[in-house]
Amino acid sequence: MTILVTGAAGFIGSNFVLNWFDQSQEVVVSLDLLTYAGNLKNLDSIKDSPFHHFVQGDIRNRSLLNLILKKYQPRAVFHFAAESHVDRSIHDASHFVDTNIVGTFSLLEEVRCYFNDLDIEHQKIFRLIHISTDEVYGSLEPYEPKFIEDSQYKPNSPYSASKAASDHLMRAWHGTYNLPIITTHCSNNYGPYQFPEKLIPLMILHALSEKSLPIYGDGQHTRDWLYVKDHVSALRCILEKGIVGEIYNIGGGNEKTNLEVVTKLCEILDELRPRASKKSYRSLVTFIKDRPFHDKRYAINSAKLEKTLGWKPEELFETGLRKTVTWFLENPEWLDHILSSEYQNWTNQHYS
């Protein structure tokens, strides 16, 4: 049996693939374009495994998708590939429309052809798991209840709008063509291998370089933090027990303001890597101009997943954050590689 993972060299995709290898002997085909956010080093530990095939390619390339599906005959496809950074989407939304909407459309069309050619027994077990975001629901006021699966779609950034569009495509391809699709909406992930443009790795990187720790606005934007390994376990559980056509919200149950996150992170760094000056890293915090239409609060209600499929997150925010900081401290070569001119030049050449 085989599974196909798109976006496998990114942050969550690579954590998913590595975890899959820890838990099973099933073949994994990883498809990734290796944009600036995709890093093959994330999959270094399995690069020689006969159970892993890496294909560098674009989900918009339908003939490639067709070839991969025919050749490897996956029993499931996990769709992580996306442009994922809100700030970049505000600067230039074109890649977001191309990858998140057009790319998802090509994947759906090729999976549809593949699925139609499967025999009944294989059709029964086949699943397409679409990894989406809580950001499609927009922003919550402090007094409002957490997002549930039926919450209204109100995306506010080009990123979340493009993910919302991909969710609608998934819904329509399930309804119209009977494709066995399950969509998930997770909250903010954190953990090893996260590209240092997102809040937690960015702050670690800045702190270790004695740069200011920039926080948008008043730092009171609230996110529900999900340790990436809990996210991965939820996805495995959904593949095994999830109901086709359903949506599942996945949250960590850790609502924190950005200021709380950065303060906690500084405390951990003060303990694990004290500054030469002996001052706390907190003195590096700087508040910067807020970004436009910045969602105030996201909070996910995962009760459906917990009650119907029996999943629950295991990591407390404090322990997960400590593990994350420790990972970054113990893997300086990973950060050095991403920051190296070789990597940056490659990115600029291939992905400007």
Please give the residue ranges that form the binding site for ligand NAD (CB under 6 A): 6-7, 9-13, 32-35, 37-38, 58-60, 80-84, 99, 103, 131, 133, 163, 186, 188-189, 195
Shortest approach of ligand NAD to residue 272 CB, angstroms? 23
Whole-angstrom distance between the N-terminal and C-terminal Cα of the chain?
Answer: 37
What lies within 8 Å, CB to CB, of 266 at 6+ separation is 207, 213, 280, 281, 282, 284, 285
CB of 123 to ligand NAD, least distance (A): 25
Q: How far is the CB of 248 from ligand NAD (least distance, A)?
A: 13
Indicate the residue among 69 and 284 with the shorter CB distance to ligand NAD.
69
Taking CB atoms, the residue at the shortest distance from ligand NAD is 10
Distance CA 107, CA 81 (A): 10
Q: Which CB sits closer to ligand NAD, 162 or 263?
A: 162
Minimum CB distance to ligand NAD, residue 280 (Å): 27
Give least dist CB 206 to ligand NAD, A: 19
Which DSSP state fits 210? T
- Burial-class residue 317 by CB neighbours within 10 Å (0-12, 13-18, 19+): buried
Write down the residue that tokens 């209600």 correspond to.
301
The CB density around residue 48, as the number of other CB atoms within 10 Å, is 7
CA dist., res. 274 & res. 112, Å (int): 54
Q: What are the C-alpha distances in Å from 219 to residues 6, 103, 196, 214, 332?
A: 34, 34, 19, 10, 28
Among all residues, which ones are annotated catalytic?
134-135, 159
Interatomic CA distance for residues 37 and 84, integer angstroms: 9
Closest CB to ligand NAD among residues 118, 237: 237
Smallest separation, CB 72 to ligand NAD (Å): 16
* DSSP secondary structure, 256-325, as one string: EEHHHHHHHHHHHHHHHS--TT---GGGGEEEEPPPTT---B--B--HHIIIII-------HHHHHHHHH
Report the Cα 334 to chain-centroid distance in Å: 19
Q: Which is nearer to ligand NAD, 118 or 205 (CB)?
A: 205
Beta-carbon contacts of residue 126 (< 8 Å; ≥ 6 apart)? 74, 75, 76, 115, 118, 180
Residue with Cβ nearer ligand NAD (15 or 263): 15
Instruction: Please tell me the distance from the alpha carbon of residue 343 to that of residue 352, in angstroms, as a whole number.
Output: 13
114 or 137: whose CB is closer to ligand NAD? 137
